Chains A and B, each alone.
Chain A
Amino acid sequence: MNEWSGSKDLTYEEFVRFRDFIHAASGIYMEDTKQDSLRISLVTRATRLGLSSFSEYFAVLERDEHELNELLNLVTINETSFFRFPQQFEALRTRVLPEIMANKPDSNRTIRIWSAGCSTGEEPYSIAMTVIDAGILSLGWRVQILGTDVSTRALNVAKKGEYPKRSLLNVPSEVLARHFEPVPGGYAVAPHVRSLVDFGYHNLIKEPYPLALMGNWDIIFCRNVTIYFKLESTKRVVSNFFNSLNEGGYLFIGHSETLSQINDQFEAVEVGGVFLYRKPKTRRGIGIAARKPAGAPMPPAEPPALGQREAAVGRSSRTTGRKPERDAEQHSAARRPRPAPRASSSEAQAPDPVQAARAALEEGRVAEALELAQRIIASDPNNADGHLIVAYVHADAGDYAAALESCHRALAINPLLPSARYILGIIYQRQGDVVRAVSEFKKTVYIDDSFALAHFNLANIYKSQRKWDAAAREYENALRALYKSPEGAWTEFLGGFKIDLLAKTCERSLLECRKAMGVS
């Protein structure tokens, strides 16, 4: 079946077959949104083996554990980098480490940190550098950091500790100077950092955990790992973390992840816009009755019924990149009170709370938009549009940390949301992180080439960098997109300005670029 003579399409049935096999063998569960990335991994591996169909490759996978490892190495490739989401390392340095040190008896001056799902080692090394820079080693403290991962190839890279230059672009030069040594083609983590870190193989799904991992951890990092797991597995993993942590110990999860619906034993602690999870200290005589997580980032929500969840995912992908029609009818309809969202097959007629929230946003009723969006998320945490609206409101209010978090939540549900990419780009741009801004704007237009504002912003950035050629090209792209899709989703980011003005601005700037290039 399915020879690769034509397109290398992975049918949904085939996807499910691989997904379930991978899930059974490794615990890693791939949501439907991962279908294409799995397809690419499969084609890559199968081609490497000289196979010509997915079914042939499946047969190999079934009998060859080594091949399963090879595939997992590709599947679990994570976007890792040093100091990824730096606010978390800042929180580690300023809040978590001091608190843990303060809680230890004088007789115990060892801090143990586990980086679970450490991939190629950037995270545990970043932790080590943060610890060193916090200056606690000179105070007589010992710090042990363990990185574990399910990918042996990733672990080999981690142990080697050498990274190409391009993967260190985000590392400030003084950190580079302090904690790295140049090697041909890149940098190696310096010995004083490496000496704090050990690596080992571990599959988070495989229970029971080895004794060495159970218990006595002060801090566990497990960021952007559980997104690969199904809810049940995630619950077990997080529960194992809870049991492995010392009282008062901290769990760091990815900034787009949440423990809501996964575990209510941790208390949520906010540090500088970052949510961390702390294992509470036992109160003697009190049972483990339900403890409300303090300050959880999301309102406690009813677990959605399965059908509802699927409907929501469908809805959110359908509305992707499209904007509700802007007629008077819709606005007045949006104000009418609506029944709570229910899974419904006749969706076309079902009132859409997302549209109501959007309408509120467009009319400047920001607080109302936020409340509506939060209600949408409460009843359906997988509603990407809900997260997007929250992101929009926060970004507009200048609360970038919260906006980033909501964007990432939306993207975790649907990585192909042009508006989420665009908002990320805007936030990075406002934060002065031009490299990331460019990357997000590029992703935006990659997903939706008619997103004129993303072209426009790319152009503006290139212009400010005096890359006239690239800037001119993007202004042209912006103009083309603008005429092609004057009603596109991007128009909601125009702040009410007319498209004509954008067009004029593009034309003006285009002229400027051409002049600078010496073409008039």
Chain B
Amino acid sequence: MAARILAVDDSPTILEMIKAILESGGYEVITASDGNEALEKARGEHPDLILLDVMLPKLDGYRVCRLLKFDQNYKSIPIIMLTAKTEEQAMATGIRTGADQYLTKPVEPDTLLAAVAEELSKAKGQ
């Protein structure tokens, strides 16, 4: 069965592009467009991996990440955070929030697919 990925971005345009990348890699994709929805879907649908944008309305990506990573039930879900170029200093925060990997936007499709594959296989091995 194809792995299910929750992609979170507040821009429907970007979400659609990310979805296309992931689907081209053979993944099933569910989407959320703000932090609250991301939390709900993460908890409700327990995806195999979460691709999380940092800048999100309502609840930013870091908080979503922290809330999931500090929760016994969800901390095993790998999270890849997408950050903007100028958020270098934020990367440190990304690590503290427990994200498994972070990629800078705009991300190359191949890089994204490689990172997803890597995190999924790491999670499987655990």
Contact = CB atoms under 8 A, between A and B. Distances in A.
Main secondary structure of the interface of B (DSSP, over half): loop
Given A398-B58, A508-B24, A498 B106 contact: yes
Given A456-B16, A496-B85, A397 B106 contact: no
A429 B12 contact: yes
Contacts of B20: 501, 504-505, 508-509
Nearest to B9: A495
A363 B86 contact: yes
B56 A495 contact: no
A495 B11 contact: yes
B57 A397 contact: yes
Nearest to A508: B20
Nearest to A454: B13
A397 B54 CA distance: 11
Contacts of A347: none
B57 A453 contact: no
Interface string A435-458: 000000000000000000100110
Contacts of A509: 16, 20
Given A496-B84, A505-B20, A508-B20, A460 B12 contact: yes
A495 B106 contact: yes
B114 interface: no
A490 to B, nearest CB: 10
A495 B105 contact: yes
Contacts of B16: 456, 460, 505, 509
Interface residues of A, number: 26
A452 to B, nearest CB: 10
Interface residues of B, number: 24
Most chain A beta carbons < 10 A, residue from B10, B20, B58, B86: B20
B101 interface: no
Contacts of A184: none
Given A398-B56, A504-B20, A364 B12 contact: no
A456 B109 CA distance: 19
B14 A497 contact: yes
A496 B105 CA distance: 7
B34 interface: yes
B17 A502 contact: yes
Nearest to A495: B14
B13 A398 contact: no
B120 interface: no
A355 to B, nearest CB: 18
B58 A426 contact: no
B21 interface: yes
Nearest to B112: A501
A322 interface: no
Nearest to B34: A398
Contact of B33 (A365, A430, A497, A508): A430
A502 B87 CA distance: 24
Given A430-B12, A495-B11, A396 B55 contact: yes
A85 interface: no
A495 B84 CA distance: 9
Contacts of A498: 106
Interface of B: 10-14, 16-17, 20-21, 23-24, 33-34, 55-58, 84-87, 105-106, 109
Interface of A: 363-365, 396-399, 426, 429-430, 453, 456-457, 460, 493-498, 501-502, 504-505, 508-509
7 closest A-B pairs by beta carbon, nearest first, are A398-B57, A364-B86, A496-B106, A505-B20, A497-B106, A495-B14, A505-B17
